[in-house]
Amino acid sequence: MIYYFSGTGNSLHIAQILSRQTGWSLRPMILCDEETPEESEVTGMVFPVYGWRLPRIVEQFLQNLPLTKKRSAYFFAILTCGDDIGRTHELLRRKLKEKDIKLDAVWSVTMPNTYVALPGFDIDPKELQENKLKAAQQRLDDIISVINRRDSSITDVHTGTLAYVKTYILGHLFNRFLTKHKYFRHESTCIGCRKCERICPVGNIRCDGKGRPVWLHDCTMCLSCYHHCPIHSIAYGPFTQGKGQYICKKS
């Protein structure tokens, strides 16, 4: 079983490749709040890193589910990121330990960047996007080989520089001050297509009578609404002006 969360499709793409090549079934984390996960010889998690930390929806998934693991089961995680993950894997390992689950293996996989909500951050150029996707496929082949052998005590992640500062200081500030629905807005060009409402993975958008988005209070900062808007009329404060959109269309 592979549990996944994805906003713009990067993590879903990885999870789908895993599912096709292994035969393991997929289950979105967002639909699992009230369910007990199925017993499985192999259990995996695939999700993006936000602000060098766990997305809120992933934290909720780990907190709410009565995760149990047979002694012989194998548990792994793949964390997607635009560059580095800081020490997010440490946070994940700690959360799993609270559920008496040993994280046997964890990897980071670099994917096209999606974060555009601060100065200096933008999507990658097209050529770099394609290069990252090709490299991700090759890396995933190696990861699947390791999983099939059930190798344990694997930590193969790109922490980057100043990893502790990014996760435990900057990441904390990011979650406290920048994971805020109130900075989202729609421009006057909004055509009321309601796509943002349909694609929000946490159901945090309700459109008004004219089809214009209204953000509620459970934003996980995936930026799916921004990237999926067909006419680029969604903004996050002043920070997204002039920046690009990205959706992973691989499958």
Question: What integer pLDDT is reported at residue 64 of this predicted model?
Answer: 80
Question: What integer pLDDT is reported at residue 38 of this predicted model?
Answer: 56
Token pair of 221, please? 């900062």
Domain boundaries, the chain: 2-176, 180-236
Helix, strand, coil tally for the chain in percent (to 5): 35, 20, 45
CB 235 within 8 A of CB 250: no
Beta-strand ranges (E) seen in the chain are: 2-4, 26-28, 42-48, 74-81, 105-110, 154-156, 184-186, 205-207, 213-215, 234-236
Which of the following CATH numbers is that of domain 180-236: 3.90.550.10, 3.30.70.20, 3.40.109.10, 3.80.10.10?
A: 3.30.70.20
The tens place of each residue's pLDDT in the chain, 251 residues long, gives 899 999 999 999 999 999 999 999 999 998 655 454 556 788 999 999 999 999 999 999 998 866 554 545 899 999 999 999 999 999 999 999 988 889 999 999 999 999 999 899 999 999 999 999 999 999 999 999 999 999 999 999 999 999 999 999 998 888 887 777 888 999 999 999 999 999 999 999 999 999 999 999 889 899 999 999 999 999 999 999 999 999 998 76
Bridge partner list, 2 = 26, 44
Give the CA distances from residue 226 to residues 66, 108, 139, 183, 246, in Å, rounded to whole numbers and listed in that order.
33, 25, 29, 12, 9
The predicted model scores a pTM of 0.92
What is the arrangement of strands in the sheet containing 26-28, beginning at the earlier edge strand? 26-28, 2-4, 42-48, 74-81, 105-110, 154-156
**57 φ, ψ to 5°?**
-65, -35
Question: What integer pLDDT is reported at residue 66 of this predicted model?
Answer: 63
Question: What integer pLDDT is reported at residue 111 of this predicted model?
Answer: 98
Which of the following CATH numbers is that of domain 2-176: 3.40.50.10260, 3.30.390.30, 3.40.50.360, 3.40.630.10?
A: 3.40.50.360
- 158 residue type, one letter: H
| Residue located via tokens 């979105």 | 28
Question: What integer pLDDT is reported at residue 187 of this predicted model?
Answer: 94
CB 250 within 8 A of CB 85: no
In this chain, the answer to whether the domains covering 2-176 and 180-236 adopt an identical fold is: no
Question: What integer pLDDT is reported at residue 186 of this predicted model?
Answer: 95
Q: Could you give the CA distance from residue 216 to residue 212 in angstroms, rounded to a whole number?
A: 13
* Sequential DSSP letters for 142-204: HHHHHHHHT--SEEE----TTHHHIIIIIHHHIIIIIS-GGGEEE-TT-----HHHHH-TT--
